[in-house]
Structure 1
């Protein structure tokens, strides 16, 4: 979104500064606006997909029965915490979190068929 706004600003400034000098400038500006509109639409589609996927992941995590495993999954896949931070928050060693708890959490999700195969 920020990048699109920059492009929009560039096109606007160019049209204000050089619009009188360029003969076919307005046609070019419309092309730029069309490109910006396409980029905005693509960004909105990606954002929709991201929100939908994150919601599915969050719903799956919320159905995990063990609170420790649920927290681990939230820290990792919702908040994108590093393993070291997760281990510290859960008060376990990094090895225990990565080798024992994480596989157990993933197994519970798989066993309960919580997440659809399309993710």
Structure 2
């Protein structure tokens, strides 16, 4: 799953910052997203539909900002299920977790290369 570099460039422009600002935003995502994934998994397992919807919503927005579009779309689908009063499949939650791991690897690699 490639990171959409145009999304990162847009984020940098919107923030009005330079490369260091973008690095900080990527680092923040790398720190916060695992908590959101864990919250999503736990809320799903506990049938906390409101909690799972909130976690999916937050992760969706953050992932899209970071250019992790496939993760963002998966979280949008999960959120949409809850909004419609349906329960997403466990495989959807697992897919979000796997896509998050892929995005984290790629973003971490970008940081090491000097993004």
TM-score (norm 2): 0.34
Report 1 or 2 for greater relative contact order, CA contacts < 8 Å, sequence distance ≥ 6: 2
User: TM-score normalised to the size of structure 1?
Assistant: 0.33
- In our comparison, the structure showing a higher alpha carbon Rg is 1
